[in-house]
Amino acid sequence: MTLTAPDSHTCQDSLRLHQYLIAAWIALATAFIVWPFSWSGFSSQIVGACMLLPCLIKGQHWLDAIKAFLGLAWIPYLLLCCILLLHLVQGGEHPGLLLFLTYMFKIPTLGVLVYGGTQTLKRSGFRSGARMQIFWLAVLLPLLVMLFQLFIPSFNGWVIEQLGGFRVEQVISGNNQGHPFRFLGLNGFLFASHGVAFAFTALGMLVCRNNMRRPSVTYSFFCIELVCLLAALLSGRSALPLLGIYIIASLYFAHGLRQRLVMCLVYLVIGVLMALLPRVSEDGRQFITWLIEPVQTSLERGTLASASMDITLQSYQGLSNRKPQEVDQESFSFHGEDLLKSSSLVGEGVYFRNNAQYEERGLTSSDSGFVRLVYLAGYLGCTLFVLFWLALFVRAWQCSRYSPWLPRVYLALFTSYGLLFFVKSEWLYQNFFIFYFFLLFYYFDSAAKQNHAHYIRQGVSAAA
């Protein structure tokens, strides 16, 4: 009997198939975590976390890596947890407090899972930029679901009924959805936070695409980015500044005049189609009216304003003891002695996801993450939470000094816009922000280690 050596092409194809399967597995797990949904006891986040757990088996020193990353950020993190636990120890009625504690536990948990996923892709032969692309491609799951919803109305109705949850019911009952196209997505409704997430995904893919030279891959990514931007426009006006940044950046980083002309033509065609929407259907008219409302309101008042901003400002006025109806909507006053009150300093230990429950307790309802944190842990707890993320940003920025300037700019924009959007939404403790912030850090950390090792090798060669 003779033994034949395995064909080299067969081995390469098998290895490549193995890489593709690992990449698809991690991208799907990421989609389940970052774009969560639940149905009849099925929680996509739990499933996604379980899918990434095997990535930690072969990982070495992952606990040390997390500790090194968090650094001094552990201090505000633990102090905030102490405030929350203090409310529990004091007894009394603190609804929703355990729910927020799960958010706090989720932050280091997602950091560990991201680390495991990145290390698995690294062992499989993927470079740092390719690893980022795989994680960004997780957006395909919600985009595909939205396309099915647009073309299959019965499927859209099933998603709204089965996956929507109480938040969608609240929106429907309040009749303040803005336009019919927002009833899409894995949760049955596209909130403003979804819009920011889609826009940052498009920008993240643009950063990755900047280093690509294969036209087929470049234009494939460009098409996905366009769909992300359209989804962002359907979700909320908070993504409009990011849309402008994307258009300018995409034209600036385009490879050659031909690519710039193609992009300009695409943007022009999309703009013309959107301008024609009000003449085509009533739904299109509602969408365009809703989309340009902040611009019209700002022009009328002579300052940056919108209907949603008025609601947000009203919720900030409700932080004082006065009723929001008794406060002049054009002004916001704050008294220093309010900080000395225990309810203002460490909060009342209450947290709800449903705005109606805040009203039942005599508190002003708000979607603002800042306002909800003040109700929960006071001004001190909210400050500690913001300091926690700022400390993480400083740590990630230190690691990014060996990286190209474009990803560094993306990190700064991601963090600064996230802090700004936190004034309006619960962005800083939502899945997308937490997961991709840790992903950005590991990208920079990997680049820092590679460059540091390169400099050491150069030094040894020079000494020899």
Round to whole Å and give the CA distance between 347 and 367: 17
pLDDT digits (tens, 9 = 90+) for 335-359: 444 544 556 788 888 888 777 788 8
Q: 8-17, 54-63, 86-95, 280-289: lowest mean pLDDT where?
A: 8-17
**Residue range 318-325: mean pLDDT, rounded:** 52
- For the ranges 46-60, 86-100, 295-309, the maximum mean pLDDT occurs at 46-60
Rounded Cα distance between 141 and 21, Å, is 16
Please report the pLDDT score of residue 255 as a whole number. 83
Closest CA to 390 of 77, 111, 161: 77
Q: Looking at residue 335, what is its pLDDT?
A: 46
pLDDT score recorded for residue 180: 80
Q: CA-based angle 431:435:440, to the nearest 5?
A: 145
What's the rounded Cα separation, in Å, for the pair 460 and 405? 28
pLDDT at residue 461 greater than cutoff 90 = no
* Token pair in block for residue 139: 């957006």
Positive/negative CA dihedral, 285, 291, 292, 294 = positive
> Which residue type sits at 179?
H
- For residue 42, the SS3 value is strand
User: What distances in angstroms separate CA 163 from CA 41, 103, 178, 179, 410, one per listed residue?
Assistant: 11, 21, 20, 20, 33
- Tell me the pLDDT tens digit for each residue of 186-241: 888 888 899 999 999 999 999 988 877 777 888 899 999 999 999 999 998 899 99
Look at residue 367 in the predicted model and tell me its pLDDT. Answer: 84
Residue 414, pLDDT score: 96
pLDDT at 170: 64
What letter would DSSP give residue 124?
T
**Residues of the chain with pLDDT > 90: what percent?**
35
Q: How far is it, in rounded angstroms, from Cα 414 to Cα 395?
A: 15
In the numeric block, the tokens 């009749």 are attached to: 175
Q: Tell me the per-residue pLDDT of 428-453, one tens digit each, with 9 for 90 and over.
A: 888 999 999 999 988 887 766 665 44
What average pLDDT is seen over the chain?
Answer: 82
Give pLDDT, residue 98: 85
65-74, 354-363, 413-422: range with highest mean pLDDT: 413-422
Q: Which of 19-33, 388-402, 410-424 has the lowest mean pLDDT?
A: 388-402
Whole-number Å distance between alpha carbons of 148 and 155 = 7
pLDDT value for 296: 82
21-25, 130-134, 330-334: range with lowest mean pLDDT: 330-334
**What's the pLDDT band for 331 if we cut at 50, 70, 90?**
very low
Predicted local distance difference test score (pLDDT) of residue 76: 94
Q: Return the bridge partners of 68, or none.
A: none
Q: For residue 325, name the pLDDT band (cuts at 50, 70, 90).
A: very low
For residue 394, the model assigns a pLDDT of 92
| pLDDT the model gives residue 10 | 62
Helix, strand, coil percent content, the chain, rounded in steps of 5: 80, 0, 20
Percent of the chain topping pLDDT 70: 82
Which pTM was predicted? 0.87
Tokens in use for 300? Answer: 């009328």
